[in-house]
Amino acid sequence: MAATEVTETPAPVVAPDAGKRRSLTGYVLILPAAVWLGLFFVVPFYSLLANSLFDPNGSVLTGYKVTYHFANFWHALSDYHGPLLRSLWYAGVATAICLVIGYVLAYAIAMKAGRWKNVLLVLVVAPFFTSFLLRTLSWKLILGDNGWVVNTLQAVHVLGSNGRLLATPVAVIAGITYNFLPFMVLPIYASLEKVDGRLIEAAGDLYASPIRAFGKVTLPLSMPGVVGGTLLTFIPAAGDYINAALLGSPNQRMVGNVIQDLFTTTGDYAAAGALSVILMVIILALVVFYVRKSGTEELL
Amino acid sequence: MSQVPSPAAGGTSEGRDLELTQLTKEFASFTAVKSLDLVVPQGSFFALLGPSGCGKTTTLRMVAGLEQPTSGTIALGGHDITRTKPYRRPINTVFQNYALFPHLTIFENVAFGLKRRGVKQTHPQVQEILQLTELTEQAAKKPAQLSGGQQQRVALARALINRPEVLLLDEPLGALDLKLRRAMQLELKRIQTEVGLTFVHVTHDQEEAMTMADTIAVMNAGVIEQMGSPAELYDNPRTTFVANFLGQSNLVGGKILGADGDSVVVDMQGTKVSVPRQRAHSTSGAGWVGIRPEKVLVAPQGEEIDAPGNHMRDAVIVDASFIGVSTQYVVKMPWGQEMLAFEQNTGRRGVMAPGTKVDVSWRPEFSFLLDASQDVGAGREDA
Amino acid sequence: MSPEQPARRSAPTRRGVLKGVGAGAFAAASLGVLPLFSTPDRTQNPNTCTTRDLSNVDHSLDVSNWPIYIDQDTKKRQSTMTDFEKRYGINVTYNEDVNDNVEFFGKVVNQLGSCQTTKRDLFVLTDWMAARMIKMGWIQKHDPGSVPNLDKNLLSSLRHVNWDPKREYSAPWQSGFAGIAYNKKLVKQEVRTVDELLTRSDLRGRVTLLAEMPDTMGLVLLSDGKDPSSFSNSDFEQGVEKVKKARDSGQIRAFTGNEYVNDLLAGNVLACFAWSGDVASYSNIEFVVPEEGMMIWSDNMLIPNLAAHKANAEKWINYYYEPAVAAQLAAYVNYVCPVEGAQQAMEKIDKSLVDNPLIFPTPDYLKQTHSFMGMTEPQVRLFEGEFNDVAGA
């Protein structure tokens, strides 16, 4: 980028009176949003932060006191780095698969579906009409050891006669991919929908083959959707625990499962809080890095 | 790939005309282009003129390869390119909405075509074309930061840089305001003369077409009504559509009496008028006698008319609009028809007020004769 | 890419300094408010956290129990619950909302821990959780003389538990065994020991254990020759290590609640730790008492603090300790019946069940059973934590 482009926007010059009045109106207008954020983000966030700094010797029954026990983070990290890394890995793989499938799907719907567009969109969203849990449970049936998927794969020798899908990383990643696919498809669809078909014609007119036209025009113009979709998929996928719980085995335990167990079963709020904060920080760092890299800072 | 001549080639060698033969495009519910035959000579500035929906844009898109003809062929320099993919045709388009790539800078937009064709060193060529189109300052900006006129020039530069054999312009000036449009018309003409490429320009603006084009094809309802130089079309329209669409015409009903030497004599509402033979497009039965408003001379009753031809008396001025260079009169003829007459404001005479009784006259060699079976109102803008 | 203004870096502007100070102050203030989120001590005293008993004016009763744990009305016979409602004129709201001890604990911890009503008069929880709640002072004693059938008919082997030595707070609803079950159709060779279950290669990846820590760890401790009612921390750790080894080798597919039954029937699971009542009625499934012994447990009826219909709840307990009622219930749920005299009453209901040791265990059968020790709160944390690190999913 040229150095001449870096410019400071000067503060607008306003009469002092007008400024005061306007800023007051502004505050009143953001009040509902501020209250909402305060109630549903700031308070829970502080609560989580407090949890992470609890005295680890407390208990649910006798109470937990905030003792600023920063060692909780270290302990959580050393005890649970396995599930933490596994979560990021599974979420990353699932997001990548979602991106490929989701892009093709969104492209087909936006560009090729014609009058079937709305029907296809409803079909993409349709799984949301049943509960997340039920959908995942039905995958348990589909991927069951004596289900047709496993039987077929065994018949064509992709799986050994004793092979299985349930309770493997494959099942967990497949479950995450399935459950979060709509979050990938919809943003990509929305940005592909906005791509002006005349630009693609123009690219063709300017000697770009359909593949080059896609690479040079369609893909760059759909980047906001791609970035939005990957974030909407990766972030919840990294914290997901349903898929690992229902489709995986203890060997596929993800950080969400650990946190859930620590909060509910063991009642170890200190470790649970610390692990949650660690997960949050890691995801935040990854998101910032990714968005910077992909050149879509305006999303932040 | 190899059959297609390289766009850089062509140059000055003769015979690289664009030739459309029996070109037809049918859509589900209507036929946009009907069996069109057209030759655009190399190096000419060719305009396809017609109202919206006449098939001119469809024709253009077929030439660009963005639309497949239902039948017929398109050939360039003798090569059939009817089925050639758009990205393999040595043809570029300046789109109506410009279709600039919003995510690329002006420089990248302009360099797009060169890059796709594998040109490594794009910088000098891009700089050159940016200079030609006066866009050097804007090179690093994105299209959204540019004014309409600048965007139009980018679209032009982006297409021109490829030195296509044929440059297609689809209503390229439609989005500009009048003043800018005038300036760009001259600019486009200048550039075309400078680079010497074949331009095919689609427009519904007859003034624009006449200003720029060497040859105009007037299209209506999927067919070419008439083709020729702007002056030919204007002076000697062959159909009521052309007569009305290209400028304005007074069309007066009459009965054709027959040929008399080099002219055809018509009984026009009781007055015998003669029309030169080469301007008479009907020789018997009923006909429309056509005369352009600026050729119609008006003078207060009894006063001598400057260049007398056919004289008609007992007409009355119903309306007079003074527009500076000229005054436009609406004159009611004795048989009830209203005619337009434009008079140059030479200063010889003031504006005649409505109600003034006048005599009307025009030189027979300026009039034309059309077949009366045609709709008198075809091609009128207010129709 | 975009050049930083060097001025900004070398000489901090006033605004920059203010920003830094502001951020620092904000962070400090944030840390300062965190203690507000500390959690309270939830110990209560059932003698002071009380309410007026509405049983005499409001003839209703709110019960929370595990799913499929009570008989249903059929054409032939009305259910025990309908009979109870008719006999006492009490309208019972019966909720099957206990799926898991820990999960249920989560549902009520905030109310019970701060002396607020749970809107329930009676719920049913397993020994260790019952012990925990009694210790926290969340559970009320039965009124003296209000449950004569309990005093009279409770099986002697269940009378003395160390967390409620006189059964003043709790009354077993059903008891059960935790042992091994396997699919007879798919497993040719009987699974006789816990070690076989955890190591046999023909079962690899098709084994589930129970997510209920005392049952799974009790069986594992037994297989190590330890006593589940009295063991050391290192005994426990050794057991956890054994489970972890089996898990890491891919032998174990999951740690489950009741849902293992479907997987076992479907063949996804070949063999597992199982609860006797779950599998007693399936001909394909064989329940095995491991050679080293098995675990016995009870689910106990408890009346929480602030129960609005305590007297009605006591009528319920007393009712279900009538032998005939207990027999009818046992015939449906197939768990161990805790009521003396029910075996005789069963003669009239279903003769085939009279001699079923999974419902009416003989003294010899009971000798092979062990119960899990009552845990202190730090022990709960320690053992549940260690277990969850291998078993949590």
pLDDT tens-digit readout, C92-125: 999 999 988 888 998 999 899 999 999 999 999 9
Of A58, A162, A266, the CB nearest to C388: A266
Cβ–Cβ of C392/A257 closer than 8 Å? yes
Query: How high is the pLDDT of residue A21?
Result: 61
When pLDDT is averaged across residues B288-301 and rounded to a whole number, the result is 91
Cβ atoms of A241 and A90 within 8 Å: the answer is no
Question: Residue for token digits 């830094």?
Answer: C20
Residue of A nearest to C107 (CA): A264
- Amino acid code (one letter) for B88: R
Query: In the CATH scheme, what is the homologous superfamily, with its name and number, of domain C176-294+378-391?
Result: Periplasmic binding protein-like II (3.40.190.10)
Q: Output the pTM of the full model.
A: 0.76
C-alpha C86 chain-centroid distance: 30
pLDDT digits (tens, 9 = 90+) for B115-145: 999 998 999 999 998 988 889 999 999 999 9
Query: How high is the pLDDT of residue C373?
Result: 86
Cβ atoms of C117 and C291 within 8 Å: the answer is no
Gyration radius of chain B over CA positions: 25
pLDDT digits (tens, 9 = 90+) for C228-254: 989 999 999 999 999 999 988 889 988
pLDDT digits (tens, 9 = 90+) for B234-277: 999 999 999 999 989 999 999 998 888 888 989 888 888 888 88
Put simply, whether A196 touches B (Cβ < 8 Å) is yes
Residue of A nearest to B163 (CA): A206
The C-alpha atoms of residue A162 and residue A178 are separated, in whole angstroms, by 25
The C-alpha atoms of residue A164 and residue C30 are separated, in whole angstroms, by 50
Beta strand ranges found along chain B (DSSP E): 18-26, 31-40, 45-49, 71-76, 79-80, 91-94, 166-170, 198-203, 215-220, 223-228, 250-260, 263-268, 271-276, 286-291, 297-300, 310-322, 326-332, 338-344, 357-362, 368-371
b/e for A47-78, b at 16 or more Cβ within 10 A? Answer: ebbbbbbbbbebbbbbbbbbbebeebbeebee
* Interface test with chain A among C377, C389, C390, by most A beta carbons within 10 Å: C389
- How close does chain B come to A221, measured CA to CA in Å? 7
Query: How high is the pLDDT of residue A10?
Result: 45
**Cβ-based contacts of A169 with chain C (< 8 Å):** none
Domain spans of chain C, in order of start: 60-174+297-357, 176-294+378-391
- How close does chain A come to C298, measured CA to CA in Å? 20
**Cβ-based contacts of A251 with chain C (< 8 Å):** 247-248, 250
**Cβ-based contacts of C36 with chain A (< 8 Å):** 50
Nearest to B290 by CA among B331, B336, B340: B340
- How close does chain B come to A14, measured CA to CA in Å? 26
Query: How high is the pLDDT of residue B75?
Result: 94
Which has the minimum average pLDDT: A171-185, B82-96, C360-374?
A: C360-374
Find the helix or strand (DSSP H, E) in which C64 lies: strand C60-64
Nearest to C253 by CA among A165, A56, B191: A165
pLDDT of B11 strictly over 60:
no
The C-alpha atoms of residue A42 and residue A35 are separated, in whole angstroms, by 10
Of A146, A167, A250, the CB nearest to C266: A146
**Cα separations in angstroms, C88 against A19, C71, C81, C83, C311:** 75, 18, 11, 9, 12
**Cβ-based contacts of A245 with chain C (< 8 Å):** 393
**Cβ-based contacts of A196 with chain B (< 8 Å):** 99
**Cα separations in angstroms, B135 against A205, B97, B151, C328, C382:** 22, 18, 10, 94, 75
When pLDDT is averaged across residues C191-213 and rounded to a whole number, the result is 93
Question: pLDDT category, B12, cuts 50, 70, 90?
Answer: very low
**Cβ-based contacts of A54 with chain C (< 8 Å):** 38
b/e for A178-192, b at 16 or more Cβ within 10 A? Answer: bbbbbbbbbbbbbbb
Say if C and B touch: at least 3 Cβ pairs within 8 Å: no
Residue of B nearest to A200 (CA): B99
C-alpha A86 chain-centroid distance: 15
Q: What is the DSSP string of B4-72?
A: SPPTT--TT-S---EEEEEEEEE-SS-EEEEEEEEEE-TT-EEEEE--TTSSHHHHHHHHHTSS--SEE
Residue of C nearest to A167 (CA): C253
Nearest to C214 by CA among C140, C275, C284: C275
Q: Do the bridges between strand C294-302 and strand C122-126 make them parallel or antiparallel, or are there none, so unpaired?
A: antiparallel
Whole-number average pLDDT of chain B: 88
**Cβ-based contacts of A161 with chain C (< 8 Å):** none
Percent of chain C with pLDDT over 90: 63
First to last CA, chain A: 20
Instruction: Report, as ranges of residue numbers, the positions in chain A whose pLDDT lies below 70.
Output: 1-22, 295-300
pLDDT of B9 strictly over 50:
no
Say if A and B touch: at least 3 Cβ pairs within 8 Å: yes
Query: How high is the pLDDT of residue A108?
Result: 95
The domain A53-299 is classified under which CATH number: 3.60.15.10, 3.30.420.40, 1.10.3720.10, 3.30.70.260? 1.10.3720.10
Cβ atoms of B334 and B315 within 8 Å: the answer is yes
Domains recognised in chain B with CATH numbers: 18-90+164-235 (3.40.50.300), 248-371 (2.40.50.100)
Nearest to B141 by CA among A2, A8, A9, A216: A2
Find the helix or strand (DSSP H, E) in which C325 lies: helix C323-333
* Interface test with chain A among B92, B101, B105, by most A beta carbons within 10 Å: B101
Put simply, whether A166 touches C (Cβ < 8 Å) is yes
DSSP-based three-state secondary structure for A64: coil
**CA atoms A278, A279, A280, A285: torsion sign:** positive
For chains A and B, what is the number of CB pairs under 8 angstroms?
64
Per-residue tokens: C327 = 């027999």
pLDDT of B171 strictly over 70:
yes
Query: How high is the pLDDT of residue C340?
Result: 92
Cβ–Cβ of B66/A201 closer than 8 Å? yes
Query: How high is the pLDDT of residue A59?
Result: 83
pLDDT digits (tens, 9 = 90+) for B180-228: 788 888 888 888 888 888 999 999 988 889 988 999 999 999 999 999 9
Cβ atoms of C130 and C161 within 8 Å: the answer is no
Q: Specify the fold of C60-174+297-357.
A: D-Maltodextrin-Binding Protein; domain 2 (3.40.190)
Put simply, whether A221 touches B (Cβ < 8 Å) is yes
Query: How high is the pLDDT of residue A8?
Result: 42
Report the residue count for chain C.
393
b/e for A155-177, b at 16 or more Cβ within 10 A? Answer: eeeebeeeebbbbbbbbbbbbbb
Nearest to B86 by CA among B62, B70, B108, B110: B62
Cβ–Cβ of A201/B97 closer than 8 Å? no
Query: How high is the pLDDT of residue A169?
Result: 92
Cβ–Cβ of A164/C205 closer than 8 Å? yes
Cβ–Cβ of A207/B101 closer than 8 Å? no
Cβ atoms of C102 and C347 within 8 Å: the answer is no
Question: pLDDT category, C160, cuts 50, 70, 90?
Answer: confident
Cβ neighbors of A221 (< 8 A, separation 6 or more) are: A191, A194, A195, A199, B102, B103
**Cβ-based contacts of C41 with chain A (< 8 Å):** 61-63
Measure the CA angle with vertex A180, ends A177 and A181; round to 5°.
75
Chains contacting B with at least 3 CB pairs below 8 Å? A
The C-alpha atoms of residue C331 and residue C352 are separated, in whole angstroms, by 10
**Cβ-based contacts of B94 with chain A (< 8 Å):** none
Nearest to B151 by CA among B141, B160, B165: B141
- Amino acid code (one letter) for A90: Y
DSSP-based three-state secondary structure for B222: coil
Query: How high is the pLDDT of residue B34?
Result: 92
Measure the CA angle with vertex C215, ends C209 and C219; round to 5°.
80
Cβ–Cβ of A206/B85 closer than 8 Å? no
Which residues 173-232 in chain A show a CB within 8 A of chain C?
none
Cβ–Cβ of A146/C33 closer than 8 Å? no
Residue of A nearest to C389 (CA): A258
pLDDT of B4 strictly over 60:
no
The C-alpha atoms of residue A291 and residue A46 are separated, in whole angstroms, by 26
Cβ atoms of C222 and C292 within 8 Å: the answer is yes
Of B99, B103, B158, the CB nearest to A201: B99
Residue of A nearest to C207 (CA): A249
pLDDT digits (tens, 9 = 90+) for A22-62: 678 888 888 999 999 989 999 999 999 999 999 988 888 88
Per-residue tokens: C101 = 């001890």
